[in-house]
Amino acid sequence: MALKGIRVRVEGLTKHFGKVVALSALDLDVKSGELVAFLGPSGCGKTTTLLMIAGIYQPTSGSILFGDRRVDHLHPRDRDVGMVFQSYALYPHLTLFDNIAFPLRLKKTPSADVRQKVQQTADLLGIAHVLERRPAQVSGGQQQRAALSRALVKEPQVLLLDEPLSNLDAQIRLQARGEIRRLQQELGVTSILVTHDQAEALAMADRVAVFSTGELQQFAPPEELYDRPANTFVAGFVGHPPMNLLQGTFADGQFTVGNVHVPVSVTGPAGPGYLGIRPEDANLRGTVPAKVVLVESLGREQLVTLDLGGPSVKVLVEGGTKPSAGAQVGFGYTPPSLHRFDSAGTRIGS
C-alpha cells in the first residue's frame, strides 16, 4: 500500500452554530506525513475543526487547503480523506469485508481490485480471519481495526481520527495507540487525531494543537507543550498531575501571594501575574513554610498537597520518605523549572 502524504493548511477557519462561536479564526499548517493531535476539553472546537476538514460541516469563513488545492467547498467524497470515528460507525448490516470494501465499490473499483485491496489492508491490520463476520460478531479491538481499514483502504491523502481509542479497554488502548502510530509512520499518511486524552496526544503526535473555547492555545511538539506552555490554560491542561498555578505579584526577586513569599529568579518586569511550578519540579526541601494537608499514594510516588497559609500546592515526592498529614515542611522547587505568566495568562520569558 502506497500513500502520499499531503500538506494540510487551515487559514482563518471559523464556524458559528447560530450565535455560538464554535471555532474562531484558526490558522494551522500540518506538514506532509505528520501526525497532529487536536487536544482539548469537550466543546473546545477540536471536533468541529476535524469535521470541517472532512467536509461534514461547512465553514462559516476561512479556507482549507490540501496541498495547493482548496477543498473547503468540496463534498466529502471529493476530498480524498479517510476517517475513523469514536463509535467506529461500521455498517451493522454488512460484513467486515463489505464494510471495508464499501468506499472502493462506491468509486466503481473493479471487483478483483476490491478483493485484493481489502485483503491487503486486512492483513496489515491483522483482521483477515474475521472478514466474513459482521461488526457485532467481533471484538471492540477488531471493530476498531476494521474502521481503520475502511479509512485506509481507499489510500486517502489525509487520515482523520476522531477519538479512535476512547471506546477501547485500557489494556488494548495502549497497544492500539502504538500500532496506529507505527502504521501511520510506515504509510506516511498525513493524519489528524482528535482526543481529550493528553497522554494519547503526547505519545502519538509529532505536534499537538491545544484548543480551548474555540481558540487555538498552542501548536507545538509534545516536549515544548510540557516545557514551555504558552499560557496558563496549556500549563494547567497538559501534564499530570497539573501544574500549580499561583496568582500574585512578582517584585524584587520574589513572588508574593498573600503572606506567602516564594523566591524566584525569573526574568521579566515586576508586576502581577501567575507563577507556575509543576508538582514534579517541586519538593519539600525548600524554605517556604508549609503544612501537609493530604498525602495520596500514586504507587511509585506520593502526591502531597501542601497548605502555604492560603494558597495550596501539590508536590510529587519520590517513595521512601513519606510525609504525614499535619507535618510542617519547607516548600521549594528545582530552580530552572519555573514558569511565569502575565496577568492575562500569557507566558513571559523562556
Partner 1 sequence: MPLLPPRWRLLLLVLLGLSIPIIAGFIWLLLTGWFDRVHGLIPAGGFAPENWRFLWETVGGRPPVFVALRNSLIFAVVVATAEVLIASMAAYAISRLSFPGRSLYLGLVLVLHAFPAVSLLIAIFYILRLLGLFDTLIGVILVKASLELPLGIWLMKGFFDSLSWEMEMAALVDGMSRWTLFWKIAMPMVRPGLLALATFALLSAWGEFIIPFTFIVSSRSQLMSSYLQSFLTEAFSDFGMFAAVGLFYAIPVIALFLLGQRYLLNIYSGGVKG
User: Which of 98, 301 has the CB closer to partner 1?
Assistant: 98
The only residue of 3, 54, 71, 204 in contact with partner 1, by rule CB under 8 A: 54
Longest CA pairwise span in the chain (Å) = 77
82 near partner 1 (CB under 8 A): yes
Strand ranges (DSSP E) for the chain? Answer: 8-17, 20-30, 35-39, 61-66, 69-70, 81-84, 158-162, 190-195, 207-212, 215-220, 244-251, 254-257, 260-263, 271-277, 282-297, 301-307, 312-318, 328-333, 339-342, 347-348
Q: Does 81 bind partner 1 (CB under 8 A)?
A: yes
Q: Which of residues 143-182 bind partner 1 (CB under 8 A)?
A: 150, 154, 160
Q: Is 103 in the site for partner 1 (CB under 8 A)?
A: yes
311 binds partner 1 (CB under 8 A): no
189 makes contact with partner 1 (CB under 8 A):
no
Residues 238-267 that bind partner 1 (CB under 8 A): none
Contacting range for partner 1; rule: CB under 8 A; set: 9-17, 102-110, 121-129, 306-314 = 102-110
Residues 106, 251, 294, 325: which binds partner 1 (CB under 8 A)?
A: 106
Of the candidates 77, 129, 285, 322, which one interacts with partner 1 according to CB under 8 A? 77
Across 48-79, b (16+ Cβ under 10 Å) vs e yields bbbbbbbbebebeebebbbeeeebbeeeeeeb
Nearest approach, Cβ of residue 296 and partner 1 (Å): 37
Residues 6+ apart with CB under 8 A from 130: 96, 137, 138, 142
Minimum CB separation of residue 54 from partner 1 in Å reads 6
> Which CB, 107 or 322, lies closer to partner 1?
107
Q: Which is nearer to partner 1, 45 or 276 (CB)?
A: 45
Q: Decide: is 137 part of the binding site for partner 1 (CB under 8 A).
A: no
3-state secondary structure of 78: helix
Which residue do the cell numbers 529568579 mark?
Answer: 265
16: helix, strand or coil: strand
Beta-bridge partners for 21: 16
- Is 297 a binding residue for partner 1 by CB under 8 A? The answer is no
Residues in the chain: 350
Listed ranges 2-10, 50-58, 225-233, 328-336: which one lies at the site for partner 1 (CB under 8 A)? 50-58
CA distance 188 to 207: 15
C-alpha angle 162/163/169, rounded to 5°? Answer: 145
19 binds partner 1 (CB under 8 A): no
Tell me: does residue 73 bind partner 1 (CB under 8 A): no
Helix (H) or strand (E) holding 121: helix 111-125
Report the interface residues with partner 1, using CB under 8 A: 51, 54-56, 75-77, 81-83, 85-87, 89-93, 102-103, 106-107, 150, 154, 160
